[in-house]
Amino acid sequence: MDDIRARLLQEAGVRQVNIEIVWDPAWTKARLSEDGIDIMRNWGISA
């Protein structure tokens, strides 16, 4: 996660990054937006 934190800190105005891993509720593809579904399909991932 250090690479994610480092990348986010490169953005203008970002001074601090806190990453919290959450296991509940479980993520499912039902939570994808229409745009997210389109992006996943363009990557060849069934959504």
The answer to whether residue 31 sits within a structural domain is yes
Q: What range does the domain containing 43 cover? A: 23-47
Reduced to 3 states, what is the DSSP secondary structure of residue 3?
helix
Task: Let me know if residue 9 belongs to a domain.
Answer: no
Rounded to 5°, angle at Cα 21 from 11 and 33: 70
Binning the chain into helix, strand and coil, the percentages to the nearest 5 are 45, 0, 55
Residue 16 has which token pair?
């601090």
Question: What is the tally of structural domains in the chain?
Answer: 1
Predicted confidence (pLDDT) per residue in 1-47, tens digit: 899 999 999 999 999 999 999 999 988 989 999 999 999 999 999 87
41 lies in a domain? yes
pTM: 0.51
